[in-house]
Amino acid sequence: MIKPTIMPHPAADATAVADVPLEPKAAQTAAAPDAEAARAPAPTLSAVIGRSRRQTQPMPAPAEYVPRHPLLAACYIAAAILISLTQGLGLNLMSVNLTQIQGSLGATTNESAWLIAAYLAPNVSLTLLLTKVRAEFGLRRFAEGAIVVFVLVTLAHLFVSDLRSAIVVRFFAGCAASPMSSLGFLYMLESFPPARKLSIGMTASLTLTAAAMPIARLISPTLVDLGGWNAMFLLEVALAMMSYCAIYLLPLTAPARAKVIEPLDVLSYLLIAIGLGSIVVALTVGPYYWWFEARWLGVLLAVGGSSLTAAVLIELNRDNPLVDFRWIASPEILHFAGVLLLFRLILAEQTSGAYGLFTTLGLLNDQLVTLYTVILGATFVAGAFCAAVLTPDRVPAIHALALALLAVGAFLDGHSTSLTRPEQMYVSQAMIAAAGTLFLPPAMSVGFVSAMKRGTNYILSFLIVFLVTQSIGGAMGSAIFRTVVTIREKYHSHYLVEGVVLTDPTVAQRAAQYGAAYAKTLADPVLQRAEGVSLIAQQATREANVLAYNDAFLLVSATAAFGLFWLLAHQTFKWIKALQAPHTAPPAAA
């Protein structure tokens, strides 16, 4: 990879010419006559803020590559795997075991959803601020402080006794996990030369991130049997301690430090954090409390939108913004963000769809071990394939392959029945897992290169695009999927129950058969028939849920097919335009 040339921000140059430091101006005023000094304007707030801004520097360039002994490079890769899994299991162990954990905490299903919301609220935006903190105070100090905080927060989980304390601890866990994801990424890139960082290094790091969910589901049954909440977080404490040792024994190559934090950065970040945090909380708990029944959901969304609007207004009027919203609003970045968001919405099929269907059918984690083993294997195979073939000119082809796998896999899942079991979904879920792994590395490499072409300061703008599309997109995808399933379940239940009447001889016979199963415990025929009718109602609800999940799967398949059509049409238009370019170019240009 060719090291990009760092171009100064045009607005920064204009500010350097137009603005005059306060100290020399004060000295000149003292030497001038009293009348001229009286006419001199007083320093304004913007001038004072500008003084602080002129003392800042651009974001430092990445550290130079330092070749290492192969054995030492392997140690850095092992440290990256350890740190990435430590961070990934922190969220996924909780999310995949909510049903089992809520009993030990004395919480309802709706209340337990706040454990996920509390984790995501700070995690969705904190990376944006921590990137500048890392540049300001140094990578080594940042890594050491981050792992110490993570260990302490993980230890705090062992002292949780009720839902309120659990929500508070999960909030700080979301804060502590944010720098850990960055460290896992940096440790993986450390061992690869520049030409391989955006292909093998980035793909390996993102593959580990995707693998955290199936790994959490594979080990969850054993951990829950051993001790529930405490057993899960004893494992996380052990992993955090190991990560602590790895970070102290294997220091990263640190780039140069620079003063990059400005006073308005803090205000802008707080507004962005409040905005994104409010939106992700509303999206996470909205399907449980239902959108039109809890008015505070609308208040959360309004607060989120207002905070983000205020942040945009502040950033648009800064010479050195924390996030360049003008660049984000460019057609290229909007197209990039749209692709990221589309994929993230579609991938909710695996995180919320298949697992939700099997939960409805009464299957638990220990009955899905083989399915998630297949998903984990498909994730690693797709990651290895992506690392081997990833080049900038192959990105559209890789994305087309991912969309095709998603469309076919979701279509196969859309024909499930109440008799469907995990073995019937091995192929479809493997295709969806492979698609998710294939999609993210090419998209992230394209966005990262686009940001670096504009200068290192644009990395922060790229980060906000990536964080919003992935974190907000993931929460939005799950919320949309659960909402569609709920609406369609009510629709199918209405039509299924409408035909279940005891005047129908078939229904009456079936109710009598089901009620006969209670003959040994219930002597009254009327009560036996009532139990039979109750069993029929349960079966109708189950079938309605299966039909609702099928509708959601087919909707995901249609969305992926539309995305594939859009991608192919866009590439065809580019090819036609490229073929016509030599014929339309003027002779002088030729």
Task: Look at 49-58, 133-142, 145-154 and tell me which has the smallest mean pLDDT.
Answer: 49-58
> Span 309-337, mean pLDDT?
81
Residue 413 counted as domain residue: no
Q: Give yes or no: residues 240 and 215 share one domain.
A: yes
Read off the pLDDT of residues 487-516 as tens digits, 9 standing for 90 and up. Answer: 988 888 888 777 666 666 777 777 777 677
Q: Give yes or no: residues 159 and 293 share one domain.
A: no
Number of domains the chain is built from:
2
Q: Give yes or no: residues 117 and 201 share one domain.
A: yes
Q: Give yes or no: residues 131 and 216 share one domain.
A: yes
Q: Give yes or no: residues 165 and 75 share one domain.
A: yes
Cα(519)–Cα(440) distance, rounded to whole angstroms?
A: 58
Predicted structure pTM score: 0.78
- The residue to which tokens 């990376």 are assigned: 127
> Which residue type sits at 534?
S
Cα(343)–Cα(395) distance, rounded to whole angstroms?
A: 14
Within 250-366, residue ranges assigned H as helices are 263-289, 295-316, 325-328, 331-346, 348, 355-360
Q: Give yes or no: residues 226 and 81 share one domain.
A: yes
CATH number at residue 77: 1.20.1250.20
| 2 pLDDT above the threshold of 50 | no
Angle at 133 between CA 127 and CA 136, to 5 degrees: 150
Read off the pLDDT of residues 354-379 as tens digits, 9 standing for 90 and up. Answer: 888 888 888 877 788 888 899 999 99
Q: Give yes or no: residues 249 and 197 share one domain.
A: yes
Which range of 45-49, 359-363, 399-403 scores highest in mean pLDDT? It is 399-403
Confidence of residue 237 (pLDDT cuts 50, 70, 90): confident
Q: Give yes or no: residues 246 and 269 share one domain.
A: no
Residue 325, token pair as written in the block:
């919203």
Domain range spanning residue 304? 263-321
Q: Give yes or no: residues 136 and 270 share one domain.
A: no
Cα(479)–Cα(473) distance, rounded to whole angstroms?
A: 10
Angle at 188 between CA 150 and CA 432, to 5 degrees: 90
Mean of per-residue pLDDT scores for the chain = 77
